[in-house]
Amino acid sequence: MSKSVVIKGGTIVNRGSEIKSDVRIENGVIVEVAKNLKADVQLDASGCIVTSGFVDLHAHLREPGREEAETIETGSRAGALGGYTALVAMPNTDPPQDSIAVIDFVREQGKRAGLVDVVPSGCITLGRQGETLAPMAELAHAGVTLFTDDGVGVQNASLMRRALEYARGLGVTLAQHCEVAELTEGAVMNECQCCTDLGLPGWPAIAEELMVFRDIELVRMTGASMHFLHLSTERSVELVRAAKRDGLPITAEVTPHHLSLTQELLATYDPVYKVNPPLRSAQDIRALKIGLLDGTIDAIATDHAPHPRRDKEMSLDIAPPGMLGLETALGVVLGNSELEIKDVVALLSWNPARIARIDAEHGRPVAIGEPANICIFDPDLAWSVDLERLASKSINSPYVGRTLRGKIRHTIFKGTPTVIDGQAQK
Amino acid sequence: MKHLRSIDELGVDGLVALLQLTDHMAEINQRPVPKVPALRGRTVASLFFEDSTRTRLSFETAAKRLSADTMTFNVSTSSVNKGESLRDTVATITDMGVDAFVVRHKSVGIPWQISQWTKASIINAGDGAHQHPTQALVDCYTIREATHESRFDGMQITIVGDIKHSRVARSNIQAFSMLGAKVTVVAPPTLLPPDLSHWPVQINHHLDEVIPTSDVLYMLRLQSERMSQGHVPTLREYSEQYGLTQKRVARLKDSAIVMHPGPMNRGVEMQIDPSDVKNSLIHRQVANGVSVRMAVLFELLGSGSSLGGQA
């Protein structure tokens, strides 16, 4: 029997309601929502929002294969500190998540860490090579609901069509990293005036938009459901908006960094700002924010991509793309959008839980009888991102030294506090 | 001035001051013993991660004429281990007591990255397609020497060729504009950066249109791999459109100057022997390279010392 926990003095934010109340949890379930509750463990939530734990659709946990950068345990801890209770693990591990053995391993490592639900995604193609389909049915029967070759897009249109048709039969969702590879060979940053000045090979917006367009049409043709990963350009948002207007089963995410950082940062020559897709223009950021407000974009996902320090100390062209995101997502989102709290929670929890099809356990209301996957955050607390305090094994965060507004205070996973007063509990 | 990494960083005043200082260095180079003790006890390390003959020799000669000690770290491109050891390499050489690094690297931004890892001065001898500030200084000095003009106001400078991949073009466009020149770039659209509307240049795709009005014709090297990358169909087609031929030379103004940063691709952008061009300054560019780099080294490392005396 786990200890009973009470969350005291916070404001509970659920879909369509906002109430001040205490919450009591026993055996992983919310058992009471009322004033003046008592329990074995008391968590102070005064001035804080109490809501469902966040769900990240896009975390690179690097295990197996690149444990120097991150492990499932360290990534889970970073997630808990960021208010997450579930992380969808991206499949570009080594070996990749294209077999039952690897899927099971990732899930088991997640359970062993016991800080969040680690939800392995599966590869669309074997080895993420873009040549033959991965055993999707086998993986689907093992519980995989989201398939992606993230890191690369599926280039072959015919293969992507087959993948979508096959996925429709299985009732699973494909998630695409939209990048036409022929247009981004050697690319380091967005193709823009800054890129012209720096003499770097550009990553043109159209390389993303062409694949968004292609896949929207393939969805229209096949009827399968599709999720677009880390959209970054104005035109991508417009394409998805139009597709949704047509009623297509499409969802989309953006990252916190694509909402807050612009291409001009590459002029610092610091590879911490190299990310794929690249940081874009202020105009693209405005379009992404409008997409969040009008519902075109369903989720904010971190694309948490740890890299060891020595890899990020290489030159811009050689350094691998990617930045940390789990511990800073909430602060970056609150500080860089005009969203209301309930919309932020929808984008970080309710919607991604539905897209990952884990909405029986996550993204639930804070209400009696519901599973206790909860995060409690202070939306106004300003804090400085301290390199020494990052739980991730890597330090490639562009926000180190910056001040963010909004911080996780407590996280509760299956009824047990994983974070109390900003401190990881294990 | 601590570093010389870009023309931007130098600014117009710094540019003019270095060109004036180069006059003194040129005078030293005319002496029977072209050597002064100005940088005695200082150490200059060349870090060349990309093949180079003239720039490296030019820097080393410059350092020696100022009595600096030199060391060369020559890394063939094949052994550059994905840049992994770069920080360690810099740290190691710094520990030996180095006052300046002269850095050439195929990757953009390396001089800025290195300057975070060492207290030594950094001189950018070319980073990717980004900057090559001492080449721009050499070219400004060479034009200044030939025209006896310290400002280039009203001068029409035409840069021809692979602007997109050229660090020489990026540095020269900035430097020429700072001195008042009107710069035109001539290339097929595939060899121009995708968006250069903010650059202080005119764009023309037809060399023959700008030949008669150019005061300076600056030819860039075309690398043969641009064909396989689809930037130009064939070298033959490129050289017909953008190469310097006898016919084009004949249409130049009498006073027009022809320049090239070297190494030349004979039969591609240069379809004519430079010695057949009346006002070719290509050899002056090489000769002035040493004086300009002496000025740069003295400016960065020579505080408190004088240019007098004999080494």
ipTM value of the model? 0.92
Q: What is the pLDDT of residues A63-95, one digit of tens each?
A: 999 999 999 999 999 999 999 999 999 999 999
Fold of the domain spanning B133-286: Rossmann fold (3.40.50)
CA gap A381, A383 in Å, rounded: 6
Same fold, B7-132+289-301 and B133-286: yes
Q: For strand B43-48 and strand A423-424, is the pairing parallel, antiparallel, or unpaired?
A: unpaired
What residues in A contact B198, CB-CB < 8 Å? 193, 196
Burial class (CB in 10 A: 0-12, 13-18, 19+), B120: buried
- Tokens representing B196 are 């250069």
- CA of A314: how far to CAs of A266, A308, B84, B107, in Å? 14, 11, 6, 10
CA atoms within 13 A on the CB side of A141: 5
Give the mutation candidate from A198, A203, A312 for the B interface (greatest B CB count, under 10 A).
Answer: A198
Q: Of chain A residues 143-182, which have a CB less than 8 A from chain B?
A: none
Q: Give the pairing of strands A403-413 and A374-384.
A: antiparallel
Amino acid at A73: E
Tell me whether residues A318 and B170 touch, CB distance under 8 A.
no
Residues of A catalogued as catalytic: 303
- A35 lies in some domain: no
Peptide bond into A277 cis (omega under 30): yes
> In the predicted model, what is the mean pLDDT of residues B222-246?
88
Which tokens is A208 given?
A: 């993303």
Residue with tokens 């975390």: A59
| Cα distance between residue B12 and residue B23, in whole Å | 17
Confidence tier at B82 by pLDDT (50, 70, 90): low
Domain membership flag for residue A62: yes
Q: Which residue has the tokens 């074995």?
A: A40
pLDDT tens, position by position, B29-52? 999 999 999 999 999 999 998 888
Distance CA A75, CA A88 (A): 11
A291 in Cβ contact with A201 (< 8 Å): no
Flag if A196 and B82 touch (Cβ within 8 Å): no
Residue type, A245: R
A287 neighbors A240 (Cβ within 8 angstroms): no
The minimum CA-CA distance between B236 and chain A, rounded to whole Å, is 26
Contact predicate A99/A135, CB 8 Å:
yes
426 residues of chain A, pLDDT tens digit each:
578 999 999 999 999 999 999 999 999 999 999 999 999 999 999 999 999 999 999 999 999 999 999 999 999 999 999 999 999 999 999 999 999 999 999 999 999 999 999 999 999 999 999 999 999 999 999 999 999 999 999 999 999 999 999 999 999 999 999 999 999 999 999 999 999 999 999 999 999 999 999 999 999 999 999 999 999 999 999 999 999 999 999 999 999 999 999 999 999 999 999 999 999 999 999 999 999 999 999 999 999 999 999 888 889 999 999 999 999 999 999 998 889 999 999 999 999 999 999 999 999 999 999 999 999 999 999 999 999 999 999 999 999 999 999 999 999 999 999 999 999 999
CATH of the structural domain B7-132+289-301, one choice from 3.20.20.300, 3.40.50.1370, 3.40.50.300, 3.50.50.60: 3.40.50.1370
B94, B97, B102, B108: CA torsion to nearest 10: 10
Percentages helix, strand, coil for chain A, rounded to the nearest 5? 35, 25, 40
Sheet holding A54-59, edge to edge: A54-59, A84-89, A117-120
Chain segment A239-267, per-residue pLDDT in tens:
999 999 999 999 999 999 999 999 999 99
Q: How confident is the model at residue B11 (pLDDT cuts 50, 70, 90)?
A: very high
Residue spans per domain, chain B: 7-132+289-301, 133-286
What is the structure's pLDDT at A413? 98
pTM: 0.94
Q: A195 CB near a chain B CB, below 8 Å?
A: yes
Euclidean distance between CA atoms A226 and A248, whole angstroms? 9
Q: Which residue of A has its CA nearest to B7?
A: A197
3 state DSSP class of A94: coil
B190 three-class SS? helix
Between CA B123 and CA B112 the distance in angstroms is 10
- Cis check for the bond before A271: say yes or no (omega within 30 of 0): no
Instruction: Report whether pLDDT(B81) > 80.
Output: no
Instruction: Report chain B residues touching chain A, CB-CB < 8 A.
Output: 82-84, 86-87, 105-110, 112-113, 128-131, 165-167, 170, 193-199
Residue type for B42, please?
Answer: R
CB atoms within 10 A of CB A394: 25
- Classified as helix, coil or strand, B37 is coil
Helix B133-147 with B7-30: angle, nearest 10 deg: 60
Return the beta strands (E) in A305-397 as ranges: 374-384
d(CA A279, CA A188): 10
Q: Average of pLDDT values for B131-155? A: 96
CATH number, domain containing residue A314:
3.20.20.140
* Type and span of the H or E element at A355: helix A351-355
Interchain pair A318, B82: CB under 8 A: yes
Instruction: Please indicate, yes or no, if residue A218 is contained in any of the structural domains.
Output: yes
Task: Please give the order of strands across the beta sheet that includes A11-14.
Answer: A17-20, A11-14, A49-52, A374-384, A403-413, A416-420, A423-424
Structure tokens, A191? 């193709």
Size of interface A-B (CB pairs under 8 A): 69
Which residues of chain A does B194 touch, with a Cβ-Cβ cutoff of 8 Å? 191, 195-196, 202, 204
**A252 within a domain of the structure (yes/no):** yes
How many structural domains comprise chain A?
1
Residue A227 lies in a domain: yes
DSSP codes, A235-261:
HHHHHHHHHHHTT--EEEEE-HHHHH-
Round the CA-based radius of gyration of chain A to a whole number and report it: 20
Residue A95 structural domain? 53-361
Percent composition of chain B: helix, strand, coil (DSSP 3-state, to 5): 40, 15, 40
Q: Return left, alpha or beta for A199; rule: phi > 0 is left, psi -120 to 50 is alpha, else beta.
A: left
b/e map of A14-49 (b: 16 or more CB within 10 Å)? Answer: beeeeeebbbbbbeeebbebeeebebebebebeebb
Q: Is A331 within the bounds of a domain?
A: yes
